[in-house]
Structure 1
Amino acid sequence: MNEYVASNPYTCSADDLTLAPFAGRQTAFARLRQQFIDPPRKGALLVLGRHRIGKTALLRAFDVAFDETFVGVYVNLRDLTLQSEDEWWLSLAQAITERLIERAFTLHRLIDLSPPGDDVRTWFTQMYLPPVLTLVRPFRRIVLLADDADALLDAIAAGRLAADTVTFLRDLTDMHPRLYVTLALDSAYESRVSDLQPLVRPIDMIRLTHLNQDEVSWLLREPVAGRYRLDDAALEAAWRLTGGEPSFVQALGCILYRRFEDGLMAAQVTTEDIKQVAGQVFTLTADDLGQSWETLNFHEQQALRAISQLQYAHPLSPIDAATIAHWLADSDDPIDATAVSATMRSLEYREMVRLTPEGVALTSDLLHRWLLERAYPAALTAVRRTPAAAEGSPALTRRNRGLRLALLVVLLVMLIVGVLLLTTLSNLPRDEFLIPPEPTVTLVGE
C-alpha cells in the first residue's frame, strides 16, 4: 500500500513544509556522495538554484538518498539564532543533538559535558564535537545541511558573527574528517558566492535545474500508485503545462489529488483532466511566475513578450532571433538580432525558454499564459479582438504608419507654402504695368 494515501502527498503552496515526494536529482546526489568519499575534496559543497527549484527539498531528502552511515543534520540558517557568536554555536550544537536523538543514538558521552564558558566557539570545537563524533562510531559521518546560506553571510556582514566564521568552518572540516558541510543558496545571491571562500571552492558547486520528462512522470505516478494513474498522453500534457518546474509539478499533483478525492476524476487520468485543472494550477503558480518576471531585465522582458505573442498568433511557425528582432522593431526599445541572441542565452540559463534547432519556445504553458494575461495585456486584447491583424508584423504596421505621416507632412508643407504665397502677393503695391486697372463701363444717353 502506498504510504501517501492518508492525505495529499503533494506540496500545495509555498508555505506547506510537509515533506513531499521527491523525484530525480540523481546527478546532484552523486556529486554530493563524491564530495564525501573523495579524500582530496575538502570544504563544503554549495547547492545553487532559483526560488522554489527544490534546494530545500534536496537537503531534506538526504536520508532517502544516503544510508545510515551518514547522519544528516538539516539547519535552516534563516530560522537559526544568528544574533551573536555564542548563540550561533549553541544553536548549532542543539540542532546536532536533536538530530542524534531522532536517530536514537545513546548520548551518555554528553552527560558529563562541561557547560560552555565565555568562549563558546572553543567549547563547540574542543568539548562538544569530539564526543559527538565518537558516539556516532568511526564509520559514520555527520553532514551539516545548511539552508539559506545568505543568512549566514548577512550575519557576518552585520557584525553579529565573527568575520572569520567562513574560514573557521573550513578549518573545522579539515580538523574533523568525518564532519561535512553542504550549503544551499538562492541564485539571487549568486554574486556573493565568493564570500563563501575558502569554505566553498569554485569547483565545489552544483546548480539545480528543472526536472526532466521522466522525472515528472515518476513524480505524478508513483506517489499515488494504486489510486489513480496518468496515461501517457496525460503525462505529455503535464510536461507541456509545467515544463518540469518542480513547484509547478507539485501544484499539478496537488490539484489532481484533490480532484480525485472529491470524486471528480476517474482512476484513469487523461489529457482532458489536465485541461480542466490547468486554471487551478495557474492560480497556485501565478505568484511564483510574477516573482520570476520581476527578476528579469528590460530586454529579457521584451523578448518574452515577443515570444508569447508570436506563439499565440503563429503557434506552428518557428521562432528565431531574427523573428523576435523583427517583431520588436516597432517597440519603444527595439533590439537587433545579435542582442536578441544574447538575451535568449540568458533566458535559457534561467530556464524560461528552450533553444532547439527548430527555434525558440517557452518552457511551459503556464509561463505562456502568464505572459499573455499579465505581462502584455494591451497586446493580448488587440490579438484577441482582431485575429487577422496578428498575421501582420509590427514592422508592417510601422511602414504603414510612416507612409501616413509622410503624406501628412507633405500636405502640411503645401498648406504653409500656399499661405505664405498668398500673404506675400497681397502685400505687393499695385503696379498698373503689372496689374491693369479694372475695366469700367460708361453708359452714354442718346
Structure 2
Amino acid sequence: MNLKLILVFIAVFAAVTDSWRRRRRRRACHPANCQVSAWSSWSTCSVPCGTAGVQTRTRWVTVGASCGGSCPYSLSESQSCNNPGCHDHGVPLESSCSCYRGWTNICCDQRVYRPTISSSANEDHCYSHIEIDEPETSINYMADPSLPDVTFLCDDNFIGYQWYRFVSAAGGEMSTRDDLPEYACGTRYPLYMVGDHPTEINETISTSACNSRYNRPCFDEYDMEVKKCDGYFVYRLKSVYCPSAYCAGTERMCPEGQTSLTGFSPGCTDKYPRITSGPDIEISIVSKDYGGKYGKQMTPIFSCIFKSHGANDDKSRFEVRWYVDDTFVLLETLDDTGREDDPYISTMDQFKHPSVVGNEGFYSLGQTIRCSVTSFFLNTGVLSPEENSDDFFAGIVVHNRSVLIRENDDHPISIQFSSSVPIKCDSSVQEQKLQS
C-alpha cells in the first residue's frame, strides 16, 4: 500500500514539474525597442529675421522599451529659419536686418515714404517745397551690379504730385542728357528731364521725365513740371517704377583719403594737415573757483590731445569739436605750432556741477564724451576728413550688471564697479563713512 502511494506521488510531482517547465518556456521574452509618436509641427522661429533663427519640433514615447530593448530615437530636432528674411530690402544681421535706404522696421518690410507738405495752388513753390539731399543721384555716381549686396535707388516712394528741390553738393539740376548709361545715378534705369530748363525767374514749364530700356529711348515716361527760382530750380515729381530714379547733379563724392571744400568734385585733394596721433581723451580733477558762497569745487576737466605732422610752409589750423552723448556742444580752433613733437590740446571745462545752483555747463557725470578733429591749410581752406576719439564714459562703470540672489542665502554678493573719473578729495573735506 505504501509503495503504491509513493509511486502515485512521484507521478503527480513529475507531471506538475513538467507543466511548470512548459509554462516557463512560454513566458520567455525578447528585447523590444520603444515606439514614438509622429513629429509635431515646427515651432515659431526664434527670431523674426536674420541669420540666427532656429525652430524646433518634438515627438514623444508612446510605448516604452521592454526586455532590455532601447529607445534610439531623437525626441527633438532643430533647423534654421527666416534666413535671411529681409524681403530683399536689407542685409541680414543675427536677429534683425540692416535696411537699405527707403525701408525700415526690424525686417525691412516697411516702406519709408518721402515727406509731404500742404500747399495751395497760389503758393510760391520756390519757398514751399521738399528738399532731397541725395548725392547718389549724380550722373557720375555709378551703381556696381557686380556687388553681392548692391541695391539700386528707386523713386517709388513719392506721395502724390509734390514739388522738390535737389540740394546735395553733387548739384541741384536734373540731367537733360538722353544718353545716360545704365546704372548711372545709383539706379538701373536713370531718369532724365526731356527738354531744357526755363530761363526766366518764376517761369514754370510742363515736360516729362524719361528713361531708356532695351535700347528704346523714353521707354518709361512720367509727367513733371520745373520752375526756375533765384539761383536754383524746383521740380514737381511723382513716383516711378523700380528700379528707376531721377538724376540730378554732375559731381561725385571725393575718393577715400581725399577731400574738397564741399567733399565733392571738383577740387578733390589729399593735401591737408595729417593727424599723426590721436585724438585721445584724458580727464583730470582740478579745484575750480565757482565764486561767491560756492568757492572752490573739485571739477572734472576733459582734454582732447592729438599730434600733426611737422612745420609746413603753408600754415595750418585745427578745429576740435566736442560731443556729449553724441550731441555737439563746443567748437575750439587751434593754430599751427610748427613743431612736430608738440601735442595739440583742447580742453572742455564747462562742468554742470551738482553743488552749484544755476551753473550752466555742457556735461555732467554719467555721460559719454567724444572729441573730433578736422584740419586745413589757411591758403586753401579745404577741410580734412574728421578724425574721432574713442567714446569716454565719465562716471561709475558697473562690471557685473547681473547677479543671482537666492532666498535665505546669507552669502555675500560681490558687485564689481570702478570709476572712470579720478577720485580726489579737497583737503578741507573731512572723511565720512558711506551710509547704505
* TM beyond 0.5: no
| Greater helix fraction, Structure 1 or Structure 2 | 1
| Greater strand fraction, Structure 1 or Structure 2 | 2
Q: Which one has more relative contact order, counting CA pairs under 8 Å at least 6 apart?
A: 1
| TM-score, length basis structure 1 | 0.24
| TM-score, length basis structure 2 | 0.24
